[in-house]
């Protein structure tokens, strides 16, 4: 009898351990959630999901059933789950800027968003997110209100969160923060901010200062000269598109070209025409997009071999859709490879292989891939990727 009781107790303990879960209200009326939150004086945790979202299901299975997670969230929040594609979900998605799933939103009893996370989080990370959301000193939207008063180090952490959360306001916030600094490269935190997070600079004098002070960036010890040059290109194009330069709703391409010629003269030709190609593609204007792309493919001496390869790789699938790929591949194949780029000669075939696999031209991909595998000029890491790709398509 005693043995049976022990077994029963053990089974009960196992069942209890496995029964841990966050207690969610599923798609309740939002007004009643706010009422309950005010009554209980608790924040709301909103799991914004979609039924087709794999990471959402993974959160359900792995994260929400963790004992520590369940204990903390059940004690501290009104927990609700909403399908963003049904009922009040669309309204909540618009109100709380839900554009990816799962969106993990923390809301005050008054309905004000205080903090959020995006994407799958394992139990420990999700528990940490909840504790961060509960603390007024670390809540994202509290920090956002006080952003201009933060120290450089605090603002850097805020910037990381802002970019992760895709906060559309961050561009203006960071611009104002930098505008108040006597030296935008004054310490390691500001260097980090400019190199990783700042979308644009406040004034042209700031862009000039950044361009003239590569040594300050390199001295921080985290970035190479290539990193600096890449960032300068990004800051130059973003500034060229800012309100400081663009005075009408229509893009002033000459103004863009003027900024690029001034601050990245060696790369200006390629960056300008690649930007125009992308701009016209996004606006579904194929003829001007092709015209800009022709500038790149017809002037490899002004662009550089590797940049031509990058442009062809990116634009190739569009050319295939337009029935123009073969014509442009002929032009691409005819480009002479400069002696200094001889070691990258394999890139021509690699570009074609990428285009073929993206456009599901399996036979052409296999032919090109096998040619590259047989060549002594193809690097071993590239061969490894090609073999894997061939295996994936059932070669």
Active site residue 53: yes
Q: Which residues contact 330 (CB under 8 A, 6 or more apart)?
A: none
What is the C-alpha to C-alpha distance for residues 104 and 49, in angstroms, rounded to an integer? 9
Q: What are phi and psi of 42, to 5 degrees?
A: -125, 150
In the set 22, 44, 50, 56, the catalytic residue is 56
Which residue(s) pair with 46 in the sheet?
A: 80, 105
Peptide bond into 136 cis (omega under 30): no
Q: Which residues contact 162 (CB under 8 A, 6 or more apart)?
A: 140, 144, 169, 170, 173, 174, 197
Helix (H, G, I), strand (E, B) or coil at 175: helix
**Residue 56 known to be catalytic:** yes
Q: Which of these is catalytic: 53, 159, 290, 372?
A: 53
- C-alpha distance from residue 214 to each of 192, 223, 230 (Å): 13, 10, 12
CB count within 10 Å of CB 254 equals: 7
Between strands 113-118 and 103-107, the pairing is antiparallel
What does residue 194 show for φ and ψ, rounded to 5 degrees? -70, -35
Catalytic residue annotation? 53, 56
């Amino acid at each position: 009898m005693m043995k049976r009781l022990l077994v029963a107790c053990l089974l009960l303990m196992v069942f209890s351990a496995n029964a841990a879960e966050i207690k969610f209200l599923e798609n309740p009326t939002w007004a009643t959630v706010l009422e309950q939150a005010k009554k209980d004086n608790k924040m709301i945790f909103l799991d914004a999901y979609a039924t087709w979202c794999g990471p959402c299901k993974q959160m359900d299975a792995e994260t929400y059933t963790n004992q520590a997670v369940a204990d903390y969230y059940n004690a501290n929040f009104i927990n609700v789950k909403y399908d963003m594609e049904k009922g009040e979900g669309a309204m909540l998605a618009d109100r709380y800027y839900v554009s990816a799933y799962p969106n993990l939103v923390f809301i005050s009893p008054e309905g004000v968003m205080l903090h959020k996370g995006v994407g799958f989080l394992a139990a420990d990370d999700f528990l940490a997110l909840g504790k961060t959301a509960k603390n007024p000193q670390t809540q994202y939207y509290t920090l956002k209100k006080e952003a201009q008063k933060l120290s450089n180090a605090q603002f850097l952490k805020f910037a990381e969160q802002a970019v992760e959360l895709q906060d559309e306001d961050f561009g203006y916030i960071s611009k104002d923060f930098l505008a108040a600094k006597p030296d935008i490269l004054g310490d390691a935190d500001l260097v980090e901010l400019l190199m990783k997070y700042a979308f644009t600079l406040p004034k042209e004098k700031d862009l000039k200062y950044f361009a003239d002070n590569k040594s300050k960036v390199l001295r921080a010890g985290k970035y190479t000269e290539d990193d600096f040059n890449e960032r300068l290109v990004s800051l130059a194009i973003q500034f060229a598109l800012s309100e400081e330069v663009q005075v009408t709703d229509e893009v002033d391409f000459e103004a863009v070209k003027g900024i690029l010629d001034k601050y990245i003269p060696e790369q200006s030709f390629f960056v300008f025409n690649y930007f125009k190609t992308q701009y016209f593609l996004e606006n579904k204007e194929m003829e001007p997009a092709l015209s800009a792309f022709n500038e790149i493919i017809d002037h490899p001496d002004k662009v550089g071999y590797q940049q031509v390869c990058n442009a062809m790789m990116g634009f190739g699938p569009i050319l295939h859709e337009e029935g123009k790929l073969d014509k442009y591949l002929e032009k691409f194949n005819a480009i002479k490879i400069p002696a200094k780029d001889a070691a990258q000669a394999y890139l021509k075939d690699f570009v074609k292989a990428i285009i073929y696999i993206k456009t599901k031209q399996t036979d052409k991909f296999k032919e090109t891939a096998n040619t590259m595998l047989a060549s002594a000029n193809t690097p071993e890491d590239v061969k490894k990727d090609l073999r894997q790709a061939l295996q994936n398509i059932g070669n």
